[in-house]
Structure 1
Amino acid sequence: MKRQRPQAPSFLRDHSHPVWRDVAVTSMPVAMLFAVVIALVVWLVDPAPPRTITMSAGPHDSSFMQTANEYRKILARNGVTLKVLESDGSVQNLQRLLDPKAHVDLALVQGGVSEGLDTSSLVSLGSVFYVPLVVFVRGRDITQLSQLDGKRIAVGREGSGTRMLSLSLLAANGIEPGGGTTLLPLDGLQAATELVAGNVDAAMLSGDSATRALMLRLLGIPGISVMTFTEADAYTRLFPYLDVIELPRGVLDLRRKIPSETVHLISPVVEIVARPNLHPAISDLLIEAAQEVHGMPGLLQRAGQFPNPLTRDYRLSDDAERYYKSGKSFLYRSLPFWLASVADRLLVLLLPIAVLLFPALRMIPLLYRWRVRSRIYRYYGKLIAIERAALRGTAEAERQALHAELDRIEESLNTLRMPLAYADAFYVLREHVGFVRAHLDEGTHAAGTHPQSTTRAV
């Protein structure tokens, strides 16, 4: 018969289990509290960038829509989905931003359409391009808007930024709706057609209504000219959201020298307007996309002129101001967007981690010591109760019950696992159990030989 090899005693293994269990139990509350605080910091202080944002643009064939689609392609390269919504133009875009139920994060808004609205809750990411007002008239003798009084004027469709701007400028020249001047809701090709047909005397075109091709066609028709704003500087003083820009001689067609002389125009700028809770990382991405889309030179702008932090109707956001001053942070310049966002959030967590970690590390040994010693102190509570009962001079049956209680305590101590660091306290406890047993035995002997001794002691 094969003899079984006796197992070597594994004292360290037997005692390691309660050590690790006690460490785990005492560390768990601290770890949970630590995790909750970190989660609150992440959620409240530096949430992750959203993967989807919504932008209100313009009509489906407008430059606003084309611009928004270019932004969408650039943001997609960084894993951010830009949902682009069609709209009637700047007025509806602004209304959507001000309406919490619209769930729109940002929009392209032309300057001058916020009159009468409380836009203090909105922020701007900067100006991105011009939308000049170009006034075509029949004849060549009109150089001021006030000369259009009593005539038929196409001022843009209802709800458009062109119409709001046109009505504001005409009102400054004493021309109001309902007066002797006929204001028609026409724009673009329709307004140009009516002008050529002689059904209107002037057409005020802006943005998509004043395309290069349309301007060339109108300026090639005898009897139609473009009005130069001789009082352009005065308009920029009265309407701070306007800039003076020039249409240089021959810029539309150098061979035919169209226009034949420099034309002074006034123009609002289009801004990227957002709600104030836009994530800083998304703000950086949008300005970077605007630099890629609008940074090249064009008919109305120089290279690098847009985007810029010169806002008109809205305050520049803090994140945009930081970007224009110092650009993207080191992490976002060096790492892919989502990896940089994770690293950036981890840096934000360093301070609360440092504040919480050191007290937590000091608390764990204290909790561990309290847990182990409380296990010993429970036995001492029972020993004190037995000793006090013995001092009261109880009857023999009660003393037998106290002996049985001591036996159960010793039996429990025989199976109790105690970390080695507390072995001295464990053996002192066993000695005290023996001390109480001896005291109880002495009381039993004294009760048998001197029945009244306990009573006198009490």
Structure 2
Amino acid sequence: MSTIIRRIGQVRLLAYGLVLILVIHLALVAMPSKTITIAAGPESGTYYQNAVAYRKVLEQRGYRVQVVPEKYTETIAGMVNDPKSGIDVGFVAQELRIDRLRNIVSLGDIELEPVFLFARRSLSAQKKIGSFSDLKGLRVVLPPERSVTSQAVSQIFKLCNVSRDNTVIEYRELDDAIRQLEAGKADAGIFMLGADNKLVAGLAKNPELKLIEVGQIDALVKNIPFLQHAVLPAGIYDRERNIPPADVQLLAARVSIIVKKSLPPATVYAVMEAMSEVHRAGNYVSQPREFPSYLGTELPLHPLAPEFYRVGTPWIFNNLPPALANIVDSYLMPMLALWLLVGLRRSVSDVDGFRHFLQMALSLLMLKWLQRRARLGQPFAARETWMLARIERWIARHDKSEAVRQALAELQAGIRRQPG
């Protein structure tokens, strides 16, 4: 008998050990990485400056943040999309082939980046520049050919019949392009940067250069969907000298933040909080609280973004450490329900009415939790599939509640609507 009791004890100990290992494994799987890697543009550009501002906010929330400068800003979307790149977050302001970027989603737009055209004042005596078409025959300097600026300008030039056949177009790294323009080695330069970027302010205040207001803005916007109309206020760079001397009508692109779809919810909320803190004050061409915004983005939106913009960060992510918040979000509800069901079966199995009521309530609770996962586009793992099967069997055998049956029907409809 003592041998049997000892064997039973050993089996129990083994079972408890396996359960403990499973719990630890599930906790480790749910824990988000403490490191966030952001792909930004060149260090003097607006993307990089925004990324540094995000880093400050995120580090206050316990994250380690790496900012990776990338001179070819057109490639950032592909870097975030690549599962092996190690890049979690990036900036985009160009038209994207969404069908080729299935691993990214947008967290919303953060600002407008105008397309600034600066020309040397000495040109005004020789040639009036009032549109992009007037750049024909001149020497024009641009950032790298694979930059967002140059990709946008190439579409503008195509519409305005400006090409290397009729114009000298040079592509240089951002700082070098600006030096070329300031040194008089180029007639004009085009840069897409934040209106409050110090490089733009320096060019605007340079007495040898003139910020050009180009015509045909509305016509260009009609043909290039990711661009829109923006207004730079008079005197914004120097009120005493009134620079610029009048409001300037500009083309501008909406800048969006993209992340990997696989980014844990705690990290997603932290990035959106950083976006809100950095951009809610507005800038030279946007109003306070105009950004961040998800209403204008044409990219697939992260399922958590609309809820965040409506009501903010959920309590558990706002008050718990990121790792604990992710574990609670992933496992607390099903573990609580399972614990209650097991406890009820042992302690109140003789009280059929009370047990039925609690089983119905727990089924509703679990169905609502599963509905939320379905709405967020989160695929069901074996755990969720098992829970759903148990609820379906219980409803089929015992429950006549219309509320539970309706919740189950809504969940099944949501699962059918999921892609794949």
- Alignment check: 8 A CA contact 1:48 1:341 kept: yes
- Alignment check: 8 A CA contact 2:31 2:324 kept: no
1:317 shift after superposition: 0.7
Partners of 2:238 and 2:258 in 1: CA distance: 35
Alignment coverage as a number of residue pairs: 340
Equivalent position SS for 1:85: strand
Partners of 1:84 and 1:199 in 2: CA distance: 33
Match of 2:170 in 1: 184
Match of 2:414 in 1: none
Match of 1:377 in 2: none
Match of 1:92 in 2: 75
Partners of 2:292 and 2:322 in 1: CA distance: 21
Matching of residue 207 in structure 1 with residue 193 in structure 2: yes
Gaps of 5+ in 2: 348-420
Equivalent position SS for 1:240: coil
Match of 2:152 in 1: 165
- Alignment check: 8 A CA contact 2:71 2:173 kept: no
1:360 shift after superposition: 8.2
1:69 shift after superposition: 2.4
Which AA in structure 1 matches 2:280? G
Equivalent position SS for 1:101: coil
Partners of 1:334 and 1:197 in 2: CA distance: 54
Residue number among 92, 103, 114 corresponding to 2:86 in the alignment: 103
Judged with a 3 Å threshold, the aligned counterparts in structure 2 of structure 1 residues 142 and 80 are, in CA distance, closer, same or farther, namely same
Partners of 1:20 and 1:151 in 2: CA distance: 94
1:279 shift after superposition: 0.6
Which AA in structure 1 matches 2:204? L
Partners of 2:15 and 2:98 in 1: CA distance: 55
Match of 1:64 in 2: 47
Equivalent position SS for 1:255: coil
- Alignment check: 8 A CA contact 1:111 1:313 kept: no
Partners of 1:257 and 1:280 in 2: CA distance: 47
1:228 shift after superposition: 1.7
Which of structures 1 and 2 has the bigger CA Rg?
Answer: 1
Q: Deviations over 1:50-82 (max 9, x none)?
A: 222322122234332232222222222222212
Judged with a 3 Å threshold, the aligned counterparts in structure 2 of structure 1 residues 212 and 124 are, in CA distance, closer, same or farther, namely same
Q: Deviations over 1:372-410 (max 9, x none)?
A: xxxxxxxxxxxxxxxxxxxxxxxxxxxxxxxxxxxxxxx
Q: Which moved more, 1:321-330 or 1:115-124?
A: 115-124
1:18 shift after superposition: 8.6
Residue number among 91, 103, 110 corresponding to 1:128 in the alignment: 110
Match of 2:256 in 1: 271
Which AA in structure 2 matches 1:213? A
- Alignment check: 8 A CA contact 2:115 2:191 kept: yes
Match of 1:347 in 2: 332
Match of 1:398 in 2: none
1:40 shift after superposition: 7.5
* Alpha-carbon RMSD: 3.4
Judged with a 3 Å threshold, the aligned counterparts in structure 2 of structure 1 residues 331 and 190 are, in CA distance, closer, same or farther, namely closer
Partners of 1:275 and 1:304 in 2: CA distance: 26
1:126 shift after superposition: 1.4
- Alignment check: 8 A CA contact 1:108 1:271 kept: yes
Q: Which moved more, 1:309-318 or 1:128-137?
A: 309-318
Partners of 1:99 and 1:50 in 2: CA distance: 17
Match of 2:58 in 1: 75
Equivalent position SS for 1:272: strand
Match of 2:288 in 1: 303
Q: TM-score, length-normalised on structure 2?
A: 0.70
Residue number among 102, 118, 121 corresponding to 2:100 in the alignment: 118
1:170 shift after superposition: 0.8
1:280 shift after superposition: 0.8
Judged with a 3 Å threshold, the aligned counterparts in structure 2 of structure 1 residues 350 and 253 are, in CA distance, closer, same or farther, namely same
Gaps of 5+ in 1: 1-14, 363-458
Aligned identity (percent) is 24
Equivalent position SS for 1:133: strand
Equivalent position SS for 2:157: helix
Please give the residue correspondences for 1:1-400 in structure 2 after superposition, counting only pairs within 5 Å: 24=9, 47-112=30-95, 114=96, 118-137=100-119, 138-139=123-124, 141-176=128-163, 178-186=164-172, 188=174, 190-195=176-181, 198-207=184-193, 211-218=199-206, 220-221=207-208, 224-310=209-295, 312-350=297-335, 353-354=338-339, 357=342
- Alignment check: 8 A CA contact 1:129 1:306 kept: yes
Partners of 2:335 and 2:271 in 1: CA distance: 28
Partners of 1:195 and 1:70 in 2: CA distance: 29
